[in-house]
Chains A and B, each alone.
Chain A
């Protein structure tokens, strides 16, 4: 659909509808972008200053000087990357075990894992808090990363993917004298790359945007993730002061997500459309 000129009446309608939606989606982002280069002083008198200026890059240079934004950015990066790698490893191994290996109790364990899909974070957040408190792990990367690793959806996705690979492929590899590990690593895992990409992107985005758990676990300013940090610097709830600076921080926070998206755009589209787009 992208790029091709609409020819039929039907696809023309679709095109304009999609275009309108895109504009609608883009407007708030553009708004934040403009705010981020508008002087705080002017904005405090009224946000219409965004249309008139004066404009400045001071908000961005302020990020460098002020606050722990870089520290928070680094924290977010560690947490998001750590969680992504962890989820990919765990989900791949679990998916292989559920989708490929025969072992007693497999169905039961799989069902139990799937039940995890139905448990909302809110339901477990207090016991989780207490566990990490007891273990004295709050304000550590481990505390920020660990809960995100149990991702039933990831296990489910990888299981489905491993199941979809014809068993003859494993059998051929076994006849080719490949060890079980080699079959997993050299033959099956490369075939799950599309699923890995999908799962990786979602895990990364989710971890990057996560707010609630870091808010609870990281009480030390130095352990804030970017989401918590930015929220904490938002002292003025009327949002009349330092609005431009806040917007600049938001833009800065969104950058990695944007970069990840641009790099893996194709896979994100595939993931969202449920694999229908090949």
Chain B
């Protein structure tokens, strides 16, 4: 029943305002795709176009190989869960779930069977005779999902369905959604501006920004090899630090990146011949830094920061703590328990966040030499296009 979704050169305008510009995207059958992006970037609009709630100005949408962009919403075979849930207030939970099936003339016993089954899975079977006003936010949310499930759609569309839930419930529901996807195996598109939701749920993330798709990739691709400066800054917390690039020379592993008035960073990035440094920047994630506070921080960090750090330690200590270090004046210390974030600035005033161990001894005001994993350095040219080191690790 599930189906692939193909979007070809889609453009959407509201009057003179273009909100989506030449979007193309192929979603595979059974895939869980997340649209991620800042507020107003057009995520909901794109989803609503797939659902048939917004007209298409240019381009095509196909579901399972069949063009659907001219069909009315009800005939597209998709189900949508709204941020506000949009339950019918005057109908009971059972009626809410049955309405879509009644409209297509599904036999009564079949409706009852599907409704009961969905209610059981979502653990709302004791609420079937209640009206939405008598339900908690989390229960309403489940009913909204149940209403989608009973239709056995070819694709599910979710528009920020978790944003009205409290943090604990959001985490739990996120997990349940992942399980639901595993069980049903139906194509799902999920819109959010919460990167944790995106990272945990998605097979692939579509990062959107300013009317366009910035990058499509698996969560780890997006995180480790952001295609643009925007993606790099948008995904990951704390946000990637950006240093102005003033010059490039040859280093031991790849490009040696100069930061005027600060020093240089040895990277494993290979930059094209004649790379223009004007307007270019260096991106460094906190977890790829090695602040040398004098204490034995090295051993801890290797295990704490995950597998992506392996290469850093494999390549030896040379660029990490040697003369390539950045002198960071620590301004604020943010203790997260398992790690400590050092927010500070470099001699030229550039802001940098470094990551130390949970038991960091660094104090505000202290100047700490910070090394950087050469394989985790990102370089962005003036247009924002990224250059990474080697292969995805």
Contacts and interface: CB of A to CB of B under 8 A. Distances in A.
B232 interface: no
B20 interface: no
10 contacts: A166-B86, A171-B80, A174-B72, A175-B52, A177-B74, A177-B100, A178-B100, A179-B103, A190-B90, A193-B90
Residue with the highest number of chain A CB atoms closer than 10 Å, among B51, B82, B86, B87: B86
B223 interface: no
Contacts of B74: 174-178
Contacts, number: 59
Contact of A176 (B89, B90, B99): B99
B121 interface: no
A179 B78 CA distance: 16
A186 B88 CA distance: 10
Interface residues of B, number: 23
Contacts of A176: 74, 99-100, 103, 147, 151
A220 interface: no
A173 B51 CA distance: 12
Contacts of B276: none
Given A177-B74, A177-B75, A178-B74, A172 B88 contact: yes
Interface string A50-76: 000000000000000000000000000
B384 to A, nearest CB: 36
A182 B82 CA distance: 21
Given A171-B80, A175-B52, 16 more contacts: A168-B82, A168-B84, A169-B88, A171-B73, A172-B80, A172-B82, A172-B86, A174-B72, A175-B79, A176-B103, A178-B74, A178-B100, A178-B103, A179-B103, A182-B103, A187-B88
Contacts of B78: 175
Interface in B247-264: none
Contacts of A173: 88, 99
Given A176-B74, A178-B103, A191 B90 contact: yes
A169 B86 contact: yes
Interface of B: 51-53, 72-75, 78-80, 82, 84, 86-90, 99-100, 103-104, 147, 151
Nearest to B90: A190
Nearest to B48: A171
A178 B88 CA distance: 13
B113 to A, nearest CB: 18
B86 A171 contact: yes
Contacts of B86: 166, 168-169, 171-172
A191 B89 CA distance: 8
Max chain B C-beta neighbours (<10 A), residue from A169, A172, A186, A187: A172
B100 A175 contact: yes
B84 A166 contact: yes
A172 B72 CA distance: 12
B188 to A, nearest CB: 15
The 7 closest A-B pairs by CB, nearest first: A177-B74, A176-B100, A168-B86, A177-B103, A172-B86, A190-B90, A174-B73
A202 to B, nearest CB: 23
A177 B104 contact: yes
B186 to A, nearest CB: 15
Contacts of B87: 172
B190 to A, nearest CB: 16
Contacts of A172: 80, 82, 86-88, 147
